[in-house]
Amino acid sequence: MAVFGSWFGREVDQDHVDSINGFWTVLLLVVCSVGSFALRYITTPISCWCPAEFTSSMISYTQESCFLKDMYYNKSMSVNNDDETKPPSVPSFHLWIPLILFFQALAFKVPNIIWNSCKHLLTLNMEETVESLKSVQLTSPENRQASFSDAARVFGSLLRRNRFFLALLYLFVKLLSCINLIAQFMFLTTYFRQYLAIRVGSYADFDIDSIIKPLLVKDIYCHVQVQFLQNTQIFSVQCTLQITEIYEKMFIFLWYWVFLLAIITILNLVLWAGFLFLPFLRDGRIAAHVNASKGARPNEPAVTRFISSFLGIDGVFILSMICRNSSELVAADLTQHLYQVFQEKEREWQNQRNLYTGETEGGAVVTGATGTIAALPMRTLPHCAESPEKAPTM
């Protein structure tokens, strides 16, 4: 079940649009693929009008033989063994429909496979992190705060090495999903809603009818070769591929599904890119999490430094995923502890900077020739000592 969930389920580092693309659409196409394969055995896929002299066994053989062919003819005429008298052939891909649907499902799964294969190379294991943080909420307040503090310090050390690669990988995977949806929409429009493609092509002054042909045909003429003793006879029978009607309805449903999903996925990509790279969309949410426990207005300059110099784009992305897949409370607690780690780092950096520049708060500094710095606090001076007066400037 764990392997099944990792391959087909929605993980904690994906949003609902990723779940629709990588799980529900794949499941839908797999069901359609298996169903289209089973239709030929549970229904009558073809019906042929055979000559009166045909027996029932000959009719069954004719229908099965015609169904297994992928080349038909568009009119009935007398046929002999001379290939030059054969009418123009009409191809049909009804036998390949299960495989076509399978490759469509695989195309929807490829972006998710790329994401699951590459994300662990760039940052921490987000699945285990979110699950552990969710379970921490059920413990005592002391243990909860200690766990969030430890997680924040681990986050801080990892975010220093990864600033934006994980977020760019996620946006790239979403871009692949958009490209896949656009390509699948064009494929379905061209070959299964051909009249719509021809109409659009005529508006653009492009004769698409002379280039593409439908993948499925319905009314055809099939040539069957029958051997009686030493004589070989070829019969031309008129057939109707009844299974084509079911396939057409199925692909029309998939056309609307892919069309709506393409719009949703493109909008989702734009929103994610805006949230990650536009400060006025992301800073307010991070500031609200930082100051959730204080009930005060956020310190905007400090929050801006916190996001730009500490979190980075990857940190914003990870916190957003934790918020989407866990809760606002978990994201707020982790953000507050990350902000405390940031303040500690900032104070350490400021102390090192003051030591290097020779500036100490409330004290005098003496710099030697070797570059060493000695600070003499003011409180160590005798009370009777007088401050040296500054010489007047001319």
In order along its 394 residues, the chain shows pLDDT tens digits of: 444 444 445 566 788 899 999 999 999 999 999 999 999 889 889 999 988 888 888 889 899 989 988 888 765 444 444 445 556 778 888 899 999 999 999 999 999 999 888 877 756 666 666 677 766 666 677 777 777 787 778 777 777 666 778 888 899 999 999 999 999 998 988 887 766 655 555 555 555 555 566 788 888 888 888 777 777 788 888 999 999 889 988 998 999 999 999 999 999 999 999 988 888 777 778 887 777 655 556 567 777 888 887 888 888 888 888 888 777 787 888 888 888 888 887 787 777 777 777 655 544 444 444 444 444 343 444 444 444 444 444 3
* 315 and 286 within one domain: yes
Structural domain for 259, as ranges: 2-108+193-277
Residue 16 and residue 103 in one domain: yes
Show which of 277, 303, 322 is a domain's final residue. Answer: 277
Q: Residue 182: what pLDDT?
A: 96
Residue 314 near residue 294, CB atoms below 8 Å: no
Q: What share of the chain is helix, strand, coil (3-state, %, to 5)?
A: 65, 10, 25
317 and 205 together in one domain: no
Q: Are residues 154 and 203 in the same domain?
A: no
Tell whether 290 is covered by a domain: yes
Burial classification of residue 144, based on how many CB atoms lie within 10 Å of its CB (0-12 exposed, 13-18 middle, 19 or more buried)? middle
In degrees and rounded to multiples of 5, residue 301 shows phi and psi of -60, -40
**Do 242 and 288 have their domain in common?**
no
Let me know if residue 84 belongs to a domain: yes
Whether residue 6 is found in the same domain as residue 84:
yes
User: By three-state DSSP, how is residue 93 classified?
Assistant: coil
Whether 226 maps to a domain, the answer reads yes
Side chain identity, residue 334: L
Cα 178 from Cα 9, distance rounded (Å): 20
CA angle 32, 190, 204 (to 5 degrees): 155
| Domains of the chain: total | 2
Q: What pLDDT is recorded for position 313?
A: 85
Answer with the one of 244, 277, 310 that is the final residue of a domain. Answer: 277
Position 176 in a domain: no
Rounded to whole angstroms, the Cα distance separating 244 from 191 reads 13
**How do 373-377 and 89-91 pair as beta strands?**
unpaired
Is residue 83, in this structure, part of any structural domain at all? yes
CA-only gyration radius of the chain, Å: 36
In a domain, 118, yes or no: no
Going by C-alpha positions, the residue among 255, 243, 184 that lies closest to residue 216 is 243
Q: Which two tokens stand for residue 221?
A: 């003429």
- Do 240 and 313 lie in a common domain? no
365 occurs within a structural domain: no
Same-domain pairing of 141 and 214: no
213 and 343 share one domain: no
**Does residue 373 form part of some domain?**
no
Q: Does one domain contain both 46 and 79?
A: yes
Contact 9, 201 (CB under 8 A): no
Domain termination residue (choose one: 237, 255, 277)? 277
**Cα separation of 230 and 217, whole Å?**
35
Q: Are residues 152 and 199 in the same domain?
A: no
Same domain, 253 and 157: no
Tokens of 101: 């649907």
